[in-house]
């Protein structure tokens, strides 16, 4: 999936708080393929980790989240889709996002917004507010 090396402990997170320790626990030494399997095996709870990953780790692991969302494995997995949407809405305002990460985040939000029925989700105010938050964040931040 990617030509990047698996992120080291130092590359996974920027801090050392409790949330960052969970990112390390869940993702240290994991390949993109491993991450896909984690997501497919009921990894909805793990989507919060995305909010605490470094830019390097996001660039490495978010394509696996997108691949999972686009696969037939994710049918009816609104827990994962909404979790990714929430986490991406939390990090999309960072000014240090790479262009590839912007594209991946944009692809995630656009895919989810066009396929809500796949996840058996309701297009309600909450969903629209998350989608708009990501679109706004990606369109109004500095570029690397």
85: Cα separation from own chain's centroid: 7
Ordered by start, the domain boundaries in the chain are 9-139
Structure tokens at 64: 């696996």
Sorting pLDDT into bands at 50, 70 and 90, what band is 142?
Answer: very low
- Helix 78-91 to helix 99-114 angle (10° resolution) is 140
Contact 106, 62 (CB under 8 A): no
Max Cα-Cα span within the chain: 39
Average pLDDT over the chain reads 92
pLDDT per position as a tens digit, 58-78: 999 999 999 999 999 999 999
What is residue 1's predicted lDDT score, i.e. its pLDDT?
54
Q: Are 142 and 93 in contact (CB under 8 A)?
A: no
Enter the DSSP assignment of 20. H
128 pLDDT higher than 60: yes
Query: How far apart, in whole angstroms, are the C-alpha atoms of residue 91 and residue 13?
Result: 13
What pTM was computed for the model?
0.92
């Amino acid at each position: 999936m990617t030509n990047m090396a698996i992120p080291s402990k130092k590359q996974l997170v920027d801090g050392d708080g409790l949330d960052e320790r969970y990112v390390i626990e869940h993702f240290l030494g994991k390949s993109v393929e491993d991450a896909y399997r984690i997501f497919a095996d009921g990894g909805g709870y793990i989507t919060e980790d995305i909010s605490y990953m470094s830019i390097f780790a996001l660039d490495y692991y978010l394509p696996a989240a997108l691949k999972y969302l686009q696969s037939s494995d994710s049918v009816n997995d609104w827990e994962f889709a909404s979790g990714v949407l929430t986490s991406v809405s939390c990090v999309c305002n960072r000014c240090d996002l790479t262009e590839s990460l912007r594209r991946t985040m944009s692809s995630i939000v656009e895919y989810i917004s066009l396929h809500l029925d796949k996840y058996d989700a309701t297009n309600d105010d909450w969903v629209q507010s998350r989608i708009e938050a990501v679109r706004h964040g990606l369109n109004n931040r500095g570029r690397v």
